[in-house]
Structure 1
């Protein structure tokens, strides 16, 4: 008897079918392909892979088409795949072990994780997982039912049980490009509408319809469907936690934080043996400014995931990100906020060790290290994680150093590369500025920068070069290439500065404060401190000074940040971010009176800043507590009944009335 039959239904899948069929060549004994009306090369491709090909007239019923495919299967086991799915050949050992050792049981089918790539690009995706039951024994009376998001059943023979196994199916069908190509939403909605018209919707169907609305960005309808799916207790079913967490995440997205807490506290808590629950609970605490409580939740999520991994248990409930990446990323943010930089760097390092191809983590880590460690210490650290004899690794470190404006690191990694010929024109310009090579700057024409953002990035480098080499004319000539009014305005500002004229248009300086900050930051990073100081004095607006102060504060350059904050404080020009940074800094240093003063000013600027009230109320004197609590309850009334918020307010109210 044949061991494994792979059964598929397809239509116009010439683009992705070869990948799918390639992925099963090593384990499938036969491939059954039921075609529902292809007009492209799908059938020819299937025949090239020696698939058994059958034509089938589409009847708007996925279960019927699936049953047609399994009707032709002769293997001991059946695996159902779609053309936009595939297996990993690295996991063949797991598949072969299962197929050889598992004994078929008539009432048992197998649930596998489907790894969904849902972003716009296959190389830079968002990833989620969902369980699907796709593997089952043949000749046991198991078949499909439900017209859409079809489910396996034994019909009148009794209940079909589901066993989770750790072999993965990979799926790219809901990437944005594929949605456009296949019009899946319209097709699926027509089936759902027919089912609703016939009053044929189960709880599972409401869940899958909610998913459909969510992919279509109709959050209101998705919430309604998820709520209908969860009206009764289906918690033992595989789809239930996915529906529950999907609903909670949509409540988050819609800022319905009371409902987030209600569903987490009453329903999701049943799954507290998984990291997912603790990560989600941590995000709730953090959103409301309960940072220490959030920290405890994130650490617990990581601990539980590690514990489950050590016991060879299923590590996550719904999303692999909840077991490590998300809690660690949140911890990093909290530790920086609490001025616990060493802890933040520790967890950033853990993230990078887990995935050293993550550019955001690498950028953040290198940016901070370069301000606090010597070049030798930074390179020793990075060279433990990366193999600099590997060209790809060395190029990554070189480009990150280039983007961050780290001259010593750029020079070091450039010396390890055999060629820099592959640099983009923008990177060549960055390299020339950092290496003090005026010729590269002079040779830059400005052509080829078609994208809006690229034009501004190129202009910033040209502006820095113009400041270094007194090159007003060159900057003006390049700016003309872009035909961009904003760049023209910025160029007028920059030429006035270079020529020593006073820039007296405050509105223009305020309008372009972000771009001027980018120029100032670049001057600082390449250590051209003389021009940096002159530039700040000439462009000295509150908007620019606040940005600089917060930039230095977030880099851990506290003394430098405080110099700028002092200037702003004297002129009463601190913006919201500056007030929050100063408030949290003084709270972390136990200077509570100052902390309250800054945070009070922050909530005056933005009374709806619900994450600030916890620290403000907690550290206010007894006389002021009531006033801040009243303000919080007035401005943020939608969150005051959240369980942990209510408990906190009750406790603080008791403190405030103590004589």
Structure 2
């Protein structure tokens, strides 16, 4: 089976090499549609052997992606953005999926690099080169709608998914969002789509979440509630709607309603790794409410789902510290630091617990590491921490 990479790009000369390097020995062809770059993006793509085509940008991601699909000659299509990379570990499983005659589309787990609250999502980025599969929606372009229609006409097909992280995405780190003005672009495009699709659960979820993120909480909640009312068995969308309503209620200082929505979210029958954001936020709210035992169970459940969830280990450490379980807390902070070596807060709290446990030298070492890391990102906290150590006679 021949596999084709299919991309749309604009001014991605810096990020594109890493993306294309990750698939260079995996795909049989690279199709890159340039939507108006003013840098070396087309040249970079050609240096990796890609076939590059031009497209006049029309503020519609689906039209651009569908234009790119026209150039694909492979049996299967893998879609990546320039700020994404394919993980080496997933390649054998991906190639095996291509041999499965029953699959029409294979969903892939994507990890948001640096994200703490909701690090994973399931994305429909690997599918057969079928003439009736096309992208729809102007922003967050998806093939899901056309695939659903095709499954009704040709019921012999199935949808599969690969376990384990397949795609690493760096584009939603705060710096990248600010540099590319992503929120403003997304809001304008989705508002245009909402005007003609006012009860579409997906756009209600995405635009509602964006409104909450930028502080338009009441507008966001109205959309999220509208999405829940319109959504039936699209469980991944229902999860997102409830998850973001939890965030909204928490920002309005209504923790009980937030807890209810997070509890609803984690009960939905979706891929467990997608629920980590709800587990994490629910645990924090239970801790704030004084239910340390409940919070501890929540974080332990989250870590059974993903033992590499660094903030989960950190938050479990915070619970154990509050419960006086210092040995457990130390182990949790150490695991968090092993997964995230620049975790200043984990070092700092490790220092606190080491001191409570009587390990003064271990405490000093942890505090020094915390200070070094804080000096890079939070100098005021580094000064405060150093002063605190002096007052305790530890330096």
User: Shorter chain as normaliser: what TM range?
Assistant: 0.7 to 0.9
Query: Residue 332 in 1 paired to residue 310 in 2?
Result: no
Distance 1:452 1:261 in 2: 34
* 8 Å contact kept, 1:111–1:133: yes
**Residue number in structure 2 paired with 1:392:** none
| 1:75 Cα offset (Å) | 0.8
Q: Give CA-to-partner distance per residue, 1:497-549, whole Å, 9 cap, x none.
A: xxxxxxxxxxxxxxxxxx6x55412xx114xxxxxxxxxxxxxxxxxxxxxxx
Partner residue of 1:439?
none
- In 2 relative to 1, CA 37–401 (structure 1 residues): closer, same or farther, beyond 3 Å? closer
Equivalent residue, structure 2, for 1:210:
208
Change (3 A) 1:52 1:248: same
CA 1:357–1:102 in structure 2 vs 1: closer, same or farther (change >3 Å)? farther
Distance 1:102 1:399, change over 3 A: farther
Q: Distance in 2 between matches of 1:455 and 1:347?
A: 23
Higher Rg of the two aligned structures? 1
Partner in structure 2 of residue 135 of structure 1: 126
Unaligned 5+ segments in structure 2 are none
SS at match of 2:245: helix
Looking at structure 2, the residues matched to 267 and 237 of structure 1 have their Cα atoms a distance apart, in angstroms, of 9
3-state DSSP of counterpart to 1:146: coil
1:117 has 2:113 as partner? yes
- d(CA) in 1 for partners of 2:297, 2:382: 44
Indicate which of 176, 181, 186 corresponds to 2:174.
176
Equivalent pairs counted in the alignment come to 384
Match status 1:520 vs 2:391: yes
C-alpha separation in 1, matches of 2:268 and 2:367:
46
Distance 1:139 1:178, change over 3 A: same
> Compared with structure 1, are the counterparts of its residues 338 and 83 closer, same or farther at alpha carbon in structure 2 (3 Å cutoff)?
closer
> Deviations for 1:367-406, whole angstroms, at most 9, x for unmatched residues?
5335645689x5xxxxxxxxxxxxxxxxxx997464589x
CA distance in 2, matches of 1:55, 1:6: 16
* SS of equivalent to 1:143: coil
Aligned to 2:354: 369
Q: Is 1:61 aligned with 2:57? A: no
TM-score by length of 2: 0.81
Who is 2:94 aligned against?
95
The question of whether the paired residues in 1 share the 8 Å contact of 2:321 and 2:353 is answered with: no
Cα RMSD for the two superposed structures = 3.8
Would you say the 8 A contact 2:279–2:298 is kept in 1?
yes
Instruction: Provide the secondary structure at the position in 2 that maps to 1:238.
Output: helix
SS in 1 for 2:220: helix
| Cα contact 2:28–2:74 (8 A) shared by 1 | yes
Q: For residues 11-32 of structure 1, give each alpha carbon's deviation from its aligned partner in whole angstroms, at most 9, with x where no partner exists.
A: 1212211221111101011111
Which residue in the other structure is 1:384 paired with? none
Q: Could you tell me how far 1:127 is from its partner in structure 2? A: 6.3
Aligned mates of 2:286, 2:76 — CA distance in 1: 47
- Whether contact under 8 Å (1:5, 1:29) holds in the other structure is yes
Q: In structure 1, what is the equivalent of residue 29 of structure 2? A: 30
Unaligned runs of 5+ in 1: 120-124, 307-314, 379-396, 406-422, 428-448, 462-514, 527-659
Where 2:230 maps in the other structure, the secondary structure is: coil
Distance 2:264 2:283 in 1: 16
Structure 1 residue 6 and structure 2 residue 2: aligned? no
The separation in 1 between residues aligned to 2:182 and 2:222, in whole angstroms, is: 21
Partners of 2:271 and 2:94 lie apart in 1 by 28
| Displacement after TM superposition at 1:67 (Å) | 1.0
- Which residue pairs with 1:288 in the alignment? 289
Pair 456,173 (structure 1): closer, same or farther in 2 beyond 3 Å? closer
In 2, Cα distance between equivalents of 1:455 and 1:341: 24
Q: Which residue of 2 aligns with 1:163?
A: 160
* 8 Å contact from structure 1 (residues 31, 51) kept in 2: yes
- Give distance in 2, aligned partners of 1:290 and 1:370: 25
User: More displaced, 70-79 or 276-285?
Assistant: 276-285
Deviation at 1:69, TM superposition (A): 0.9
Distance in 2, Cα, partners of 1:110 & 1:362: 40
Cα pair 1:118 1:127 within 8 Å, conserved: no
Per-residue deviation, residues 433-479 of structure 1 (Å, max 9, x unmatched)? xxxxxxxxxxxxxxxx9x9749957xx98xxxxxxxxxxxxxxxxxx
Shift of 1:240: 2.5
The within-5 A match list for 1:177-576 is 177-199=175-197, 202-264=200-262, 268-270=266-268, 274=272, 276=276, 281-299=282-300, 301=301, 306=304, 315=305, 325-352=310-337, 358-369=343-354, 372-373=357-358, 400=366, 402=368, 453=380, 517=388, 519-521=390-392, 524-526=393-395
Provide closer, same or farther for how the CA distance between residues 192 and 161 of structure 1 changes in structure 2, counting only shifts above 3 A. farther
Report the alpha carbon displacement of residue 357 of structure 1 after superposing the two structures with TM: 5.9
> What SS does structure 1 have at the residue aligned with 2:208?
helix
Q: What's the offset of the Cα at 1:200?
A: 5.8
Q: Report the structure, 1 or 2, having the larger strand content.
A: 2
**Conserved in 1, the CA contact under 8 Å of 2:136 and 2:142?**
yes
> 1:238 offset after TM fit, Å?
2.8
SS at structure 2 position matched to 1:234: coil
Distance 1:227 1:117, change over 3 A: farther
Query: Take 1:290 and 1:237, find their aligned partners in 2: how far apart are those partners?
Result: 28
TM-score, normalised on structure 1? Answer: 0.51
